[in-house]
């Protein structure tokens, strides 16, 4: 089982693809991505406190979360376009760069035996924006967040 996320780019399109395996069912991963209380426990790098003031995980719903650490604040928002047990399609924007909206898809592949492969992709508006995301240290936030997600999923309540 892959415990570190594989982050890949497409040379023809400004897309970032992330793949990672989890010791959880698709339903558990879906819950962790759609329940705001669960989501706040794992999203982002270590040391961030996450507040979720807006969360309507349904087709046409909207979301917003705010992360804080050491007096700094980072806010993100978007809209859910499709929400079902197989995949979530949403927009994603950092409020510090409101013109940089990405289209994101997260899909849950059942591997059997209580294991699931998460496939995520973010389509941004340019290669420059994609490369800026990669230079931002996003892999640290992705891997630390997914390590926290492993711990959240190990809780029998999820």
Residue 36 lies in a domain: yes
Residue 46 lies in a domain: yes
* Domain of 77, in residue numbers: 6-154
Which tokens sit at 123?
Answer: 């389509």
Whether 1 shows a pLDDT value over 90: the answer reads no
pLDDT digits 0-9 by tens, 127-142 = 999 999 899 888 999 9
pLDDT digits 0-9 by tens, 38-94 = 999 999 999 999 999 999 999 999 999 999 999 999 999 999 999 999 999 999 999
Q: Contact 74/81 with Cβ under 8 angstroms?
A: no
Q: What is the CATH number of the domain that holds 89?
A: 3.30.530.20
SS3 105: strand
The chain-wide mean pLDDT, for the chain, equals 94
pLDDT of res. 137: 85
pLDDT band at 3 (very low <50, low <70, confident <90, very high): confident
Whether 147 shows a pLDDT value over 80: the answer reads yes
Residue 105 lies in a domain: yes
Residue 143 lies in a domain: yes
């Amino acid at each position: 089982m892959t415990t570190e996320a594989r982050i890949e780019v497409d040379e023809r399109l400004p897309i970032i693809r992330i793949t990672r395996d989890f010791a959880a069912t698709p339903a558990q991963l879906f819950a962790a991505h759609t329940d705001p209380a669960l989501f706040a426990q794992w999203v982002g790098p270590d040391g961030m406190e996450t507040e979720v003031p807006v969360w309507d995980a349904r087709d046409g719903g909207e979301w917003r979360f705010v992360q804080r650490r050491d007096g700094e604040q980072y806010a993100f928002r978007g809209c859910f376009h499709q929400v079902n047990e197989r995949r979530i399609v949403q927009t994603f924007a950092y409020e510090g760069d409101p013109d940089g909206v990405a289209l994101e898809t997260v899909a849950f592949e059942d591997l059997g035996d209580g294991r699931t492969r998460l496939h995520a992709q973010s389509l941004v508006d340019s290669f420059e924006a994609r490369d800026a995301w990669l230079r931002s240290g996003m892999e640290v936030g992705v891997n630390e967040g997914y390590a926290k997600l492993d711990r959240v999923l190990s809780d029998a309540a999820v």
